[in-house]
Amino acid sequence: MTTPFLAAAAEVCITPPVGATLLGFLGPSTGVHDDLFARVLMLGDGKTTAAVVSLDLVGMDFCLADEMREAVAVAAGADLVLLACSHTHSAPFTIPWSLTGRHWLDGPEGLAWREGMVHRVAETATGARERLRPAALRAGRAEVQVGHNRRAVTAEGVTMQPNPDGVTVPWVDVLCVEDERGATQAVLFSHAAHPVIVHAASSLVSADYPGYAVAALRRRLGQGTVAMFAQACGGNNNGHPLRGGFEAAKRAGEELAEAVLRAVAAARPLPAAPLRTATVATRLPLRPLPPVEECRELVRRAEGQAARAEAEGAGGEASWYAHDDVLCSRDLLGQAMAGGPGAIRFEASVLAVGDAWGLVALTHEVFAEYQRRLELESPWAHTMVTAYTNGCESYVPTDAALAEGGYEAASYPDMGAAWRYPYRVAMATGGEGLVMEAVRGALEAARQA
């Protein structure tokens, strides 16, 4: 068989210490159900080298993502680094969602874990670079849907519940890497659905359904195969059932793994062609911040509600959210007094193999509609898309969703997701056009590279 490419894959454990604050549980972990991993796929053509890293993390703030990208690029000599996170909620607050949840990560133990993780990922990428060997690539796709659209339009507005008519991405994309003997070295697969099947159902660290999918694939393909999950545009899609627990996550993961195996079996070889890379950055506009006096009043209300919750002995999620509302309202006041950032950083990166295959990687929690549009506009025979890549600090809804509102698209005074992300307000309408402009720019730049 012909092996026109160079490839190597490796993995390293990145499980945090017990006591790390988990996003889904909203409290300290009490143990480890299954380890978290960073998995590295190095690809080369003799001139260009790219590092695709899948991480069992909820995401990364830009500070952490930039630090890890630079470390991998320098240590492994990569021309392009893509850090694709699974978005498991049973992992620490490595995204800036809430201020309460970040306390552990910003403390001594959290900082030590974070620094160690950056070092281990860079070291693993370097080892993979040193082991680059001739390889063949195949790309495939299979139908599967382990979740559902979660934005239902009701008389009360858009609520978070299953919407059978909502947009989904009902397939899994696969890139299969084979050595000179035809043995499978690595399988990179992407699917769009929040890993929230465990979520708050447990205080144990877990990779959720993607972890079960990886385990099932290694049983079938061999323990030497590095199976790598990357979250696609699942910003408005949930894995099912929400808070279903480990057995439900196992069923979903094994269903996904079966689809991956079907895709691998039907995958077609990618012809010899240069690797092409490109990244285009832009700024997405944010909605205006409220007036300073309104922010001051919000702080007073939040502080009063938190004091009442404490006096009444409220615990659990109610107490957590009340405390976080105080911190977020104070932060909003500070931003209003300073004028606010006005816009949010967004990046679209592309890794392509000639005209046959392309990976489009997007920052943030991107809605499924964008992936469906990319599927129609892509110049390649096979297109894979990941979100939550190289940074995650906001949702990226469509303009239509921003007009509807709802958890992912609401802005102050509605306390949706944007309230707890660092900008405190949602994207402004018009951002959708800028997203697609950046994506098209990256596609064209990669084609001309």
Q: Which residue's structure tokens are 């694709």? A: 84
Q: Could you read off the pLDDT of 338-352 as tens digits, one per residue?
A: 999 999 999 999 999
Domain boundaries, the chain: 5-274+347-406, 290-338
* Best CA proximity match to 393, nearest among 416, 368, 363: 363
pLDDT in tens, 233-252: 999 999 999 999 999 999 99
Q: Torsion-angle region of residue 407: left (phi > 0), alpha (psi -120 to 50) or beta?
A: alpha
| CB of 260 closer than 8 Å to CB of 172 | yes
**Residue whose tokens read 């990941």:** 386
With beta carbons less than 8 A apart as the criterion, state whether 251 and 424 touch: no
Ranges of residues in the chain whose predicted pLDDT is under 70: 1-3
Provide φ and ψ at 54, rounded to 5°.
-100, 135
Q: Confirm if 149 and 236 have CB atoms less than 8 A apart.
A: yes
Assign residue 424 a region (left: φ > 0; alpha: ψ between -120 and 50; beta: otherwise). left
**Residue keyed to tokens 């000599």:** 77
* Rounded-to-integer distance, Cα 197 and Cα 206, Å: 11
Residue 383 in tokens: 């297109």
How confident is the model at residue 44, as a pLDDT? 97
Q: What is the pLDDT of residue 3?
A: 65
Q: Can you give the pLDDT at residue 449?
A: 84
Reduced to 3 states, what is the DSSP secondary structure of residue 53? strand
Q: What is the pTM of this model?
A: 0.97
Query: How much is the pLDDT for 387?
Result: 98
Q: What's the residue count for the chain?
A: 449
Return d(Cα 285, Cα 297) in angstroms, integer.
26
In 3-state terms, what secondary structure has residue 78?
A: coil
> Which amino acid does the sequence have at 122?
A
